[in-house]
Structure 1
């Protein structure tokens, strides 16, 4: 199991309108937070991104979210990084393949993480070979895609 141990200090500043600035004392912690998500706290999705100059909470838009997608009963021959990346690209921006999927350690489902545009409907099936493969989005019940907004 890929465990993360915080090795530095983190300061958090409330910017208002449910935006927070996190300052990390160690660069490895920043990279871990950006790459190991998506993150949920108390059932609420956290949209995490690098700091942008001139950021104003009142004008900020969340246009995409990272979500884990399960491909239940995906035939094991498709547990190939290239194939999984192609599937991910049909859903949005491919971020990463779950460690257990990459190692073919789990056969019930494959799992990938993708960045999806909240202004577009979620893709529910993808054709793989001669089959249609259903997509199951983890935590989407916590997200509201109505009108392209989170928390609507």
Structure 2
């Protein structure tokens, strides 16, 4: 009541640098424990270098992929799965809302039999 919170500019700048290439991830389907998701994704992405996960709640995970090229590889080299459940992901932005699926993508392959080759 009437109290104010003062932000330290150095901390804000340092945290902003950490949020240059974060990725938000959601595993769809069954409720899979966090340690399993962590283990499975780290194994699949191990060739990209080091990264960590931050559990945001409501099934959302943030990954701190430092390298822009590695981030693009993760976004384009899917689809990714954990225990048979597909992973949706997007680059984090200040507009991210954990209650929304807007912008969430995952590359998928579909097979349509008897479709002409030119199609």
TM-score (norm 1): 0.41
1:72 & 1:54 partners in 2: Cα distance?
40
1:34 is matched with 75
User: Does the CA contact (< 8 Å) of 1:37 and 1:66 recur in 2?
Assistant: yes
2:63 is matched with 22
Q: CA deviation at 1:26?
A: 1.8
Structure (1/2) with the larger helix percentage? 2
Q: Which has the higher contact order (CA 8 A, sep 6+)?
A: 2
2:101 is matched with 61
Unpaired runs of at least 5, structure 2: 1-44
1:70 & 1:28 partners in 2: Cα distance?
29
Runs of 4+ in structure 1 off by over 6 angstroms are: none
Instruction: Describe the superposition over 1:15-62 as per-residue Cα deviations: whole angstroms up to 9, x where unpaired.
Output: 0011000111222210111001121110111101111214231x2225
Instruction: Describe the superposition over 1:80-111 as per-residue Cα deviations: whole angstroms up to 9, x where unpaired.
Output: xxx3xxx4xxxxxxxxxxxxxxxxxxxxxxxx
Q: CA deviation at 1:73?
A: 5.1
RMSD over aligned CA atoms reads: 2.6
Structure (1/2) with the larger strand percentage? 1
2:105 & 2:73 partners in 1: Cα distance?
19
User: Does the CA contact (< 8 Å) of 2:54 and 2:61 recur in 1?
Assistant: yes
1:12 is matched with 53
1:47 and 2:82 aligned: no
